[in-house]
């Protein structure tokens, strides 16, 4: 059965499980513990896949002098989608302004979210300090940039420009096929993570009950995500590909990694599935999927920027009692877009980090009200991660179109 079908079924089963057992006091805690373990297992699998496939893909692109075009098209796609999705957030909020449901968690510890953001950014900066290359790879759990940099350097050095290097290039290329076999297996059984994570997701929201009591903010976020996925991103994809490919076909074929990101809030855990889906479902060459997917996983954070901008504006209205001015809205969107490019330092909480850092940059004091975001973190971070993954998947297809190596994959051959 196709992954997009099994993953949707797993999500619905998770909802049913939460509805059946959500009234028990320990349900959310148990499900969250199991979900965290499975997500960490996904990251455990993702890191070696990332390192081997990125190095192999870089060497292959360098061999044919295609690396620069793939990188430029991926970066341009990330920048354009992030900028426009941040603008979409402001537009959606102006159309339907909703005050954030600030609960009792607001004001209890004003530095909680700010401190977390500062710690994650500081840890990321320390991870970039060159000490031990092997340690940088094996310790890449929430911040994959060091592993990508090392794999990129290895890939450049492995360019088969001399006969003595060709055996190493061939071995690494074959080893990357092994990694893709693991990715395919992971994608097939990834519905288990979606099931457990979705059950934990719905059980946590039910236990917190803020979404049920004040659904306006959740509805606004859902509408923004739908507008992004069904309108803006497909339109941009059509422009980037010269209206030669059907964006909606690409989106539904990318539903598996998007749903995994939504339920886990972690784009690193879904990255192996995204790479496999890009190759098997979207017709992207292995070397392009191996490089563009990790690159866009790092910088393609338009979805997180969008939900962060909405959260910030909604919090501002709830705290001040007035609608944010056009200047504040534009500044919030612009800064959120800029901060999103470094938010991958906090995989799983990108949207929270973007919001907290944006508040600091703009000098907006909400007196601890931003801590109310923690209760909504499964929804906020999950929605942002899902849109980010759609951006990543379609971005890999755009990179393939840029060097004219994309192919059409029959539905029967998709995973």
Q: What is the pLDDT of residue 104?
A: 45
The residue-averaged pLDDT of 13-28 equals 86
Is 143 within a domain?
no
The more confident residue out of 102 and 92 is 92
For 92, 131, 223, 354, the CA distances from 383, given in Å and listed in that order, are 15, 36, 11, 14
Buried/exposed code over 115-144 (b: 16+ C-beta within 10 A; e: otherwise): ebbeebbeebeebeeeeeeeebbeebebbb
For 214-254, how does the pLDDT look when each residue is reduced to its tens digit (9 = 90+)? 789 999 999 999 999 999 999 999 999 999 999 999 999 99
Provide mean pLDDT across the span 127-133.
Answer: 66
**Lookup: tokens for 234:** 């497909």
**301 within a domain of the structure (yes/no):** yes
Residue 52 lies in a domain: no
In a domain, 55, yes or no: no
Q: Which of the four pLDDT bands, split at 50, 70 and 90, describes residue 372? A: confident
Instruction: Tell whether 201 is covered by a domain.
Output: yes
pLDDT band at 131 (very low <50, low <70, confident <90, very high): low
Task: Kindly state whether residue 168 falls inside one of the protein's structural domains.
Answer: no
Tens-digit pLDDT profile for residues 304-313: 999 999 999 9
Mean pLDDT, range 46-56, rounded to an integer:
95
The pair of three-digit structure tokens given for residue 246, joined into one six-digit string: 């059907």
- Who wins on pLDDT, 9 or 126? 9
> What does pLDDT average to over the chain?
90
Q: What is the pLDDT of residue 207?
A: 82
Q: What is the pLDDT of residue 26?
A: 84
Which residue did the predictor score with more confidence, 143 or 192?
192
Percent of the chain with pLDDT over 90: 69
Please report the pLDDT score of residue 107 as a whole number: 43
pLDDT of residue 105: 46
Is 181 domain-assigned?
no
How far out from the chain centre does Cα 414 lie?
A: 22
Q: How many angstroms separate the first and last alpha carbons of the chain?
A: 8
Q: Which residue has the higher pLDDT, 281 or 413?
A: 281
Domain total of the chain: 1
Name the helix (H) or strand (E) containing 334.
helix 326-340
* Residue bearing the bigger pLDDT, 134 or 20: 20
| Domain boundaries, position 296 | 3-44+66-130+190-413
Between the ranges 201-205, 324-328, 362-366, where is the mean pLDDT highest?
324-328
Does any domain span residue 397?
yes
The set of residues, in sequence order, having a beta carbon less than 8 Å from that of 188 and lying 6+ positions away, is 3, 415
Would the pLDDT of 389 be above 90? yes
- At 259-314, the pLDDT tens digits run 999 999 999 999 999 999 999 999 999 999 999 999 999 999 999 999 999 999 99
pLDDT (0 to 100) of residue 127: 62
* Cα–chain center distance at 235: 20
CATH number of the domain within which 320 lies: 1.10.3860.10
Long-range contacts of residues 155-158, Cβ cutoff 8 Å, at least 24 apart = 155/54, 155/55, 155/56, 155/57, 155/58, 155/59, 155/62, 156/58, 156/59, 156/62, 158/55, 158/56, 158/58, 158/59
365 versus 158: which is more confidently predicted? Answer: 158
Does residue 149 carry a pLDDT above 50?
yes
Q: Are 37 and 30 in contact (CB under 8 A)?
A: no
**Between 132 and 155, the higher pLDDT residue:** 155
């Amino acid at each position: 059965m196709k992954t997009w079908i099994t993953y949707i079924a797993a999500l619905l089963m998770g909802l049913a499980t939460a509805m059946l057992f959500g009234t028990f006091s320990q349900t959310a805690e148990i499900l969250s513990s199991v979900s965290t373990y499975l997500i960490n297992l996904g990251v455990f699998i993702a890191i070696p896949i990332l390192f081997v496939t990125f190095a192999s893909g870089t060497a292959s692109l360098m061999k044919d002098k295609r690396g620069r075009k793939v990188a430029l098209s991926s970066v341009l796609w990330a920048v354009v989608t992030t900028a426009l999705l941040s603008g979409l957030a402001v537009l959606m909020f102006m159309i339907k302004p909703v005050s954030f449901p600030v609960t009792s968690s607001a004001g209890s510890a004003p530095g909680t979210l700010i401190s977390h953001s500062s710690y994650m950014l500081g840890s990321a900066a320390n991870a970039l300090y060159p000490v031990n290359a092997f340690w940088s790879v094996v310790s890449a759990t929430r911040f994959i940039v060091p592993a990508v940099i090392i794999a990129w350097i290895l890939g450049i050095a492995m360019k088969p420009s001399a006969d003595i290097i060709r055996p190493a290039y061939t071995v690494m290329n074959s080893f990357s096929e092994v990694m893709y076999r693991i990715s395919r297996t992971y994608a097939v059984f990834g519905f288990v993570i979606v099931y457990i994570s979705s059950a934990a997701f719905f059980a946590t929201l039910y236990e917190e009950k803020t979404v049920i009591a004040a659904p306006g903010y959740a509805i606004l976020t859902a509408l923004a995500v739908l507008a992004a996925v069904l309108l803006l991103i497909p339109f941009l994809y059509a422009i980037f590909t010269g209206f030669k490919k059907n964006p909606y076909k690409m989106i539904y074929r990318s539903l598996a990694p998007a749903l995994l990101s939504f339920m886990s809030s972690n784009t690193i855990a879904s990255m192996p599935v995204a790479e496999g889906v890009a190759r098997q479902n979207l017709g992207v060459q292995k070397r392009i999927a191996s490089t563009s997917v990790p690159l866009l996983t790092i910088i393609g954070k338009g979805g997180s920027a969008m939900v962060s901008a909405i959260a910030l504006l909604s919090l501002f209205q709830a705290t001040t009692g007035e609608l944010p001015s056009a200047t504040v809205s534009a500044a919030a969107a612009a800064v959120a877009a800029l901060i999103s490019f470094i938010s991958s330092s906090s995989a799983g909480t990108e949207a929270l980090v973007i919001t907290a850092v944006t508040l600091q940059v703009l000098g907006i004091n909400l007196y601890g009200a931003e801590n109310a975001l923690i209760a909504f973190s499964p929804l906020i971070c999950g929605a942002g991660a899902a849109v980010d993954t759609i951006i990543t998947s379609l971005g890999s297809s755009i990179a393939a179109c840029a060097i004219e190596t994309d192919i059409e994959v029959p539905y029967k051959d998709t995973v």
